[in-house]
Amino acid sequence: MNLLVLGPQGSGKGTQATRLSEAYGIPHVSTGEMFRSAIEAGTELGRRVEPILASGELVPDDLTIQLIRERLAESDAERGFVLDGFPRNLAQAGALDAMLAEIDRGLDAVLFFDISDDVAVERLQGRARREGREDDAPEAIARRLELYHAQTEPVVERYRASGKLVPIHAERTIGQVAGEIVEALELLDEEAIA
Ligand code: AMP
């Protein structure tokens, strides 16, 4: 099962990606988490991306694409993956298509977590209070949402046009959203069999 979760920060896509990863026994590949681990471990990549994450800007495409290329080539991703936080713009989406074509794989579904900016900001402010993530500072939150609308929404439209997009009502509770995802994936499965 090759899945992609798309949506603004605060839409709950990371939480659902973790659940899907456990349910299907496939890795949850989150570029944001990979960057935060590199920062914590003090690697060269971590030192490079730390100021970028703190400001809410995007890490350059070449670095991000290379990171994903290497991650998807690892053996635990052979049976599938849940990709979270990538692709963030059209250039990354094109690179992902090319990567998957090379290994003769495709995406089974692109789950789109639909949520208003107001609810996203409210949730991110809550997370900032609980976890103290540096990029959940008010200016960084605003910048990330701005970049989401400018750069990631075109990716949503691209997958909508390709018929792969599965819209999810993401303003509801974690359990309700999880239920909707299970139903949507079962439906896809039935369509694939029919
Ligand atoms: P996230 O946890 O997905 O919200 O990502 C946190 C931060 O990591 C983002 O604000 C970016 O600075 C960086 N980042 C994560 N994924 C990407 C990506 N695909 N392209 C560029 N930067 C990214």
From ligand 1's centre to the CA of 58, what distance in Å? Answer: 6
Task: Report yes or no on 49 lying in a domain.
Answer: yes
The tens digit of pLDDT for each residue in 40-58 reads 999 999 999 999 999 999 9
Among residues 93, 113, 92, 100, the alpha carbon closest in space to that of 14 is found at 113
Nearest to 1 by CA among 163, 186, 179: 186
Residue 130: band (very low, low, confident or very high) from pLDDT cuts 50, 70, 90 = confident
Q: What is the pLDDT of residues 52-108, one digit of tens each?
A: 999 999 999 999 999 999 999 999 999 999 999 999 999 999 999 999 999 889 999
Catalytic residue among 19, 48, 127, 160: 127
Is residue 145 domain-resident? yes
pLDDT of residue 189: 79
22 CA to middle of ligand 1, Å?
A: 22
Could you confirm whether 164 is annotated as catalytic? no
- The per-residue pLDDT for range 147-194, each reduced to its tens digit, is 999 999 999 999 999 999 999 999 999 999 999 999 999 988 788 777
Domain ranges, residue 150:
2-186
φ/ψ bin of 132: left (φ > 0), alpha (ψ from -120 to 50), beta (otherwise): left
Residue 22 counted as domain residue: yes
Q: What is the rounded CA–CA span in Å between residue 144 and residue 41?
A: 24
Q: Does a structural domain hold residue 194? A: no
Residue 77 located in a structural domain: yes
Residue 153 lies in a domain: yes
* Residues 10-48 pLDDT 10s: 999 999 999 999 999 999 999 999 999 999 999 999 999
Q: Give dist(CA 180, CA 175) in Å, integer.
A: 9
> Which amino acid, 186?
E
CATH number of the domain bearing residue 38: 3.40.50.300
Q: What ligand 1 atom has the least distance to the C-alpha of 87?
A: 19
Q: Whole-model pTM?
A: 0.94
Contacts of 46 (CB under 8 A, 6+ apart): 35, 37, 38, 39, 40
Q: Minimal CA–CA distance to 83: which of 153, 29, 145? A: 29
Provide the domain count of the chain.
Answer: 1
Do the domain assignments include residue 78?
yes
Cβ of 58 below 6 Å from ligand 1: yes
Q: Which of 39, 48, 59 to mutate to test the pocket of ligand 1 (most atoms within 8 A of CB)?
A: 59
Answer whether residue 136 shows pLDDT above 90: no
Task: Tell whether 193 is covered by a domain.
Answer: no
